[in-house]
């Protein structure tokens, strides 16, 4: 007889692992064992819980008590107080930054309460390495329905009715893509999952795979039935070892349960899935480059048409969807396309998962209905900007996206509205920037990334992004001159119109969006030889204004090179010969006294 009365759901995603979750688990096992509690209290290592900013996190069920920022040293006290004496440990509760009141229950924490979980419905709730736990939460019910009760046409019809659009960035209607492949008479067809997540600041796909791998497998099985494919391949970057390991376990378990392989669930339908590990090339996120990589060729895009639904992998009909798209499929089949379409906006249905990072208090994974405003995501869920600084912009869509400034914070999140303000939805990366961010340098950073990751096949991307980078580096170095802004705009227009693939065509977006909203910063760099955000080293004097200095000594304490001299009630001074230009003093001074 199972005597378990309490489950401890410990986040076991990559983020919490990096913050010591494994050591916390070992401490829990040791302490519970010491008190003979291991039969009554079961530790479950889940996937990513989503609230990365406060990891490692622990959810105590059935009470729903949420503990955060755990350390192995906390565990003896936690076990004694909570599990022996029945007194939850308040100092380990989550406390909203703007409030003094503790919020022990996870569902009461604003980070979670403002979200709607569909793709992430199982995150932090199940052991991703145990298929029975997935099945217990209606797992593979959609597969059973699709394989035994529905035709290919009926499956595609429900996906079309749902309005689901590709979550990898392009936003192409999923049902239409499947319909093209279904109607192709080819005998050999493929279903591919794009898990080659390469955007800086993006960790949506990785977290979904770590927390709920079976949801992705199930989506692929249903897609395969829809187009009559016999083989599936998950293209996952090798930098995601935990995701790859859990996928391998999930595939093995599904095969043992008769959910993959021959005659699945006695339906007569055969389907296999394998994993292909990519080497981490950003361009392999583009569908045709990804397929060439699987074929053993250099990952480079090819012209379209023909589109993959007609000639894809090995020149056979192929559909490719990203992790988040496929994780939606089973629920659409179970509940119907109209159920899914009931959430969202007119042209953008369902929910969207964002990786919220940068200058925001609550870094983590966020799932919200389409149409939710950026302000809600950043302030209500994200908890606003740290250290009482002002919001400046949010970069949406990764390096190929654009910066959205404060005046557009009420823009609803959907494909069309985001495009109107100069950004793209992309795969879901959202990097928040505060007032200390130099937008010229930010554009330089993203163009540097894109130039480095360009496959080099087409001249506009290969040479155009290099020239963009040269101009931006010149401006940041204080060598900008008249005509540079016009050159950036002209080059950007040419690249957008003539680059071969979507990655090249969207490459200039960081430049164009920062020019659109922060042109004054470009002008200050070029004509005034000043960086308003005080981030570009070449444009800084590393001097202290005696009229602005408050004689607080904060800069003195922050200097790692001992280049600042200061005594109480005296103005600080910088020895520029000792100064290593680390910018610590600029970040510490609250009064703008350092020039």
Tokens of 423: 């950004």
The pLDDT value recorded for residue 400 is 83
Considering only residues 33 and 104, tell me which one the structure prediction assigns the higher pLDDT. 33
CATH number belonging to the domain at 541-595, selected among 3.30.465.10, 3.30.230.10, 3.30.110.30, 3.30.70.20: 3.30.70.20
The model's pLDDT over 311-332, given as tens digits with 9 standing for 90+, comes to 999 999 999 999 999 999 999 9
The pLDDT value recorded for residue 371 is 95
Tell me the pLDDT band of 1, cut-offs 50, 70 and 90: very low
User: What are residue 475's phi and psi, to 5 degrees?
Assistant: -65, -45
Q: 143 and 330 in contact (C-beta within 8 Å)?
A: yes
The model's pLDDT over 64-114, given as tens digits with 9 standing for 90+, comes to 899 999 999 999 999 999 999 999 998 999 875 445 565 667 888 899 999
Nearest Cα neighbor of 329 from 221, 227, 190 is: 221
> Does the domain formed by 131-341 have CATH 3.40.50.11540?
yes
The model's pLDDT over 383-414, given as tens digits with 9 standing for 90+, comes to 999 988 999 999 998 888 899 999 999 999 99
**For residues 515-521, average pLDDT:** 96
The model's pLDDT over 296-312, given as tens digits with 9 standing for 90+, comes to 999 999 988 899 999 99
Distance of alpha carbon 327 from alpha carbon 307, whole angstroms? 23
Please determine, for residue 556, whether its predicted confidence score (pLDDT) is greater than 60.
yes
Half-sphere exposure of 298 (CA within 13 A, CB side): 5
Q: 8 and 62 in contact (C-beta within 8 Å)?
A: no
Distance of alpha carbon 344 from alpha carbon 349, whole angstroms? 4
Share of the chain above pLDDT 90, in %: 82
**For the whole prediction, is pTM greater than 0.85?**
yes
The model's pLDDT over 2-16, given as tens digits with 9 standing for 90+, comes to 567 899 999 999 999
In the chain, domain spans:
6-113, 131-341, 351-434, 439-528, 541-595
Class of the 6-113 domain?
alpha beta
Q: 184 and 190 in contact (C-beta within 8 Å)?
A: no
The model's pLDDT over 148-202, given as tens digits with 9 standing for 90+, comes to 999 999 999 999 999 999 998 778 999 999 999 999 988 899 999 999 988 888 8
The pLDDT value recorded for residue 96 is 59
Tokens of 233: 């391949």
Please determine, for residue 124, whether its predicted confidence score (pLDDT) is greater than 70.
yes
User: What are residue 119's phi and psi, to 5 degrees?
Assistant: -60, -40
Distance of alpha carbon 395 from alpha carbon 357, whole angstroms? 10
The helix/strand count (H/E) of the chain reads as: 24, 17
Distance of alpha carbon 512 from alpha carbon 427, whole angstroms? 20
Instruction: Give the position of tokens 């200095």.
Output: 549
Distance of alpha carbon 524 from alpha carbon 471, whole angstroms? 15
| SS3 annotation, 354-373 | EEEEECCCCCEEEEEECCCE
Class of the 439-528 domain?
mainly alpha
CATH number belonging to the domain at 351-434, selected among 1.10.540.10, 1.10.10.10, 3.30.1950.10, 3.10.20.600: 3.10.20.600
The pLDDT value recorded for residue 102 is 59
| Cα angle value 366/372/373 (rounded, 5°) | 100
Considering only residues 282 and 250, tell me which one the structure prediction assigns the higher pLDDT. 250
Distance of alpha carbon 455 from alpha carbon 347, whole angstroms? 33
Please determine, for residue 118, whether its predicted confidence score (pLDDT) is greater than 90.
yes
- pLDDT averaged over every residue in the chain: 93
The pLDDT value recorded for residue 313 is 96
Q: 525 and 531 in contact (C-beta within 8 Å)?
A: yes
Classify residue 544 by its DSSP letter.
B
């Amino acid at each position: 007889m199972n005597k378990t009365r309490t489950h401890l759901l410990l986040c076991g995603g990559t983020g919490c692992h990096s913050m010591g979750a494994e050591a916390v688990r070992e401490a829990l096992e040791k302490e519970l064992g010491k008190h003979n509690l291991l039969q009554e209290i079961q530790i479950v290592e889940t996937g990513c819980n989503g609230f990365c900013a406060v990891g490692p996190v622990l959810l105590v069920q059935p009470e729903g008590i949420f503990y955060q920022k755990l350390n192995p040293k906390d565990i003896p006290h936690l076990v004694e107080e909570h599990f022996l004496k029945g007194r939850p440990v308040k100092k380990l509760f989550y406390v909203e930054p703007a409030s003094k009141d503790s919020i022990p229950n996870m569902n009461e924490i604003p980070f979670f309460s403002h979200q709607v979980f569909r793709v992430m419905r199982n995150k932090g709730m199940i052991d991703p390495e145990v298929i029975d736990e997935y099945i217990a939460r209606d797992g593979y019910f959609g597969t059973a329905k699709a394989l035994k009760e529905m035709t290919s046409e009926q499956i595609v019809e429900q996906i079309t009715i749902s309005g689901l659009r590709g979550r990898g960035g392009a936003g192409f209607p999923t049902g239409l893509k499947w319909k093209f492949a279904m109607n192709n008479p080819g005998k050999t067809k493929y279903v591919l999952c794009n898990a080659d997540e390469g955007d800086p600041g993006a960790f949506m796909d990785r977290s979904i795979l770590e927390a709920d791998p079976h949801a992705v497998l199930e989506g692929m099985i249903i897609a395969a039935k829809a187009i009559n494919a016999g083989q599936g391949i998950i293209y996952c970057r090798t930098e995601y070892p935990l995701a790859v390991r859990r996928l391998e376990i999930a595939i093995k378990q599904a095969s043992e349960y008769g959910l993959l392989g021959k005659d699945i669930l006695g339906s007569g339908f055969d389907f296999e899935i394998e994993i292909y590990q990519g080497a981490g090339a950003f361009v392999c996120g583009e569908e045709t480059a990804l397929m060439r990589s699987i074929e053993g060729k250099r990952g480079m895009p090819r012209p379209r048409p023909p589109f993959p639904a007609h000639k894809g992998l090995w020149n056979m009909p192929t559909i490719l969807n990203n992790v988040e798209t496929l994780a939606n499929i089973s629920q659409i089949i179970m509940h119907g396309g109209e159920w899914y379409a009931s959430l969202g906006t007119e042209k953008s249905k369902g929910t969207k998962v964002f990786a919220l990072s940068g200058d925001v208090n609550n870094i983590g994974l966020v799932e919200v209905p389409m149409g939710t405003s950026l302000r809600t995501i950043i302030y209500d869920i994200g908890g606003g900007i740290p250290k009482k600084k002002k919001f400046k912009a949010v970069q949406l869509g990764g390096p190929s996206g654009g910066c959205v400034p404060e005046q557009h914070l009420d823009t609803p999140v959907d494909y069309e509205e985001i495009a109107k303000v100069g950004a793209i939805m992309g795969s879901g990366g959202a990097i928040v920037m505060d007032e200390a961010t130099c937008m010229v340098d930010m554009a330089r950073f993203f163009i540097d990334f894109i130039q480095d990751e360009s496959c080099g096949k087409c001249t506009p991307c290969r040479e155009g992004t290099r020239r963009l980078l040269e101009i931006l580096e010149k401006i940041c170095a204080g060598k900008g001159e008249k005509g540079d802004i016009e050159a950036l705009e002209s080059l950007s227009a040419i690249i957008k119109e003539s680059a071969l693939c979507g990655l090249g065509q969207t490459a200039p977006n960081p430049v164009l969006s920062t020019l659109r909203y922060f042109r004054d910063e470009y002008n200050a760099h070029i004509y005034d030889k000043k960086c308003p955000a005080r981030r570009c080293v070449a444009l800084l004097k590393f001097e202290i204004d005696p009229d602005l200095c408050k004689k607080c000594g904060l800069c003195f304490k922050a200097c790692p090179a001992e280049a600042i001299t200061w005594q109480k009630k005296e103005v600080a001074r910088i020895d520029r010969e000792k100064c290593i230009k680390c910018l610590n003093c600029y970040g510490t001074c609250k009064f703008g006294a350092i020039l």
